[in-house]
Structure 1
Amino acid sequence: MKVKDLIKNKEKMKYTIAHRKAFRTVEKQLLGHNTFRSLFHDFDKMLLYPFFDKEKISKWHRNYSRHHEKHAKTNTDIVQMVIDWECARYTKPDKPLNARQTLEKFYPHLTEKVLPIIEQLNL
């Protein structure tokens, strides 16, 4: 671990903490409760930030997390992905789109699978 990585990633840790809180808030609004999975949403990033650079962590996270496209297989995974898309706009200035806009702009190939869930959640 490099000291400069720890200092650099301190801001990313704050960003991720805010995102995790927003995720739980949006999930409760949409589902009426928080799931067990929401307690650990993006928690891997928090554990890895002190040890690795942000780019490596992001790549690893997207490749292995069930709420990202590559591994979202079940209905629950897709619901978690939609909630992630919906809440991103509250804490991530670089991601101002809501879930429906995110689907249309970045994931149109997932429309058949994801749009019914977006509609079910009244988004």
Structure 2
Amino acid sequence: MQIDRIKYTMKHRKAFRAVEKQLLGHNTIRGYLHDMDKVFLYMIMDYKRAHKIHRSHSRHHTLKARTHADYVQMVIDWECARLTKPDKQMNARETLDKLYPELKDKVLPVIEELGL
């Protein structure tokens, strides 16, 4: 079991819910469940495998995002990452510009809608 990774993910989940509430005015079911799979995966497998499974199945990541709600969750995830992840200090707009410019047509309207 990877206790440090679980603690890191739990802090991120808490920050996600705080940012979601700030931006949307409420928390969603998806917000409460955000990254919960990673907590369980870290209990039974190594980081690299858990990370790959999570990113390939979670709709708030670029491989699976399709709906407006998916992109809202993605933007919230990007925006809150800098609060708990020392290795990810960009805000949502910077993340879009630097890492995912190919998603600009889908994600920029969401960033603007959320007032970021």
Work out which of the residue numbers 30, 35, 38 in structure 1 matches 2:23. Answer: 30
Question: What is the identity, as a one-letter code, of the residue corresponding to 2:110?
Answer: I
Query: Which has the larger Rg?
Result: 1
For 2:92 and 2:63, the matched residues in 1 are separated by 17
Task: Please name the residue that 2:5 is paired with.
Answer: 12
Residue 106 in 1 paired to residue 99 in 2?
yes
Give the aligned partner of residue 3 of structure 1.
none
The match for 2:47 is: 54
User: Once superposed, which parts of structure 1, at least 4 consecutive aligned residues long, lie more than 4 Å away?
Assistant: none
- Aligned-residue Cα RMSD (Å) equals 0.5
Superposed CA deviations along residues 78-121 of structure 1, whole A, max 9, x for unmatched, are 00000000000000000000000000000000000000000010
Equivalent residue pairs, number: 116
Q: TM-score, normalised by structure 2?
A: 0.99
Quick one: which amino acid aligns to residue 61 of structure 2?
H
Q: CA deviation at 1:62?
A: 0.5
Which stretches in structure 1 are left out of the alignment for 5+ residues?
1-5
Give the match's secondary structure for 2:44: coil
Identity of aligned residues (%): 60
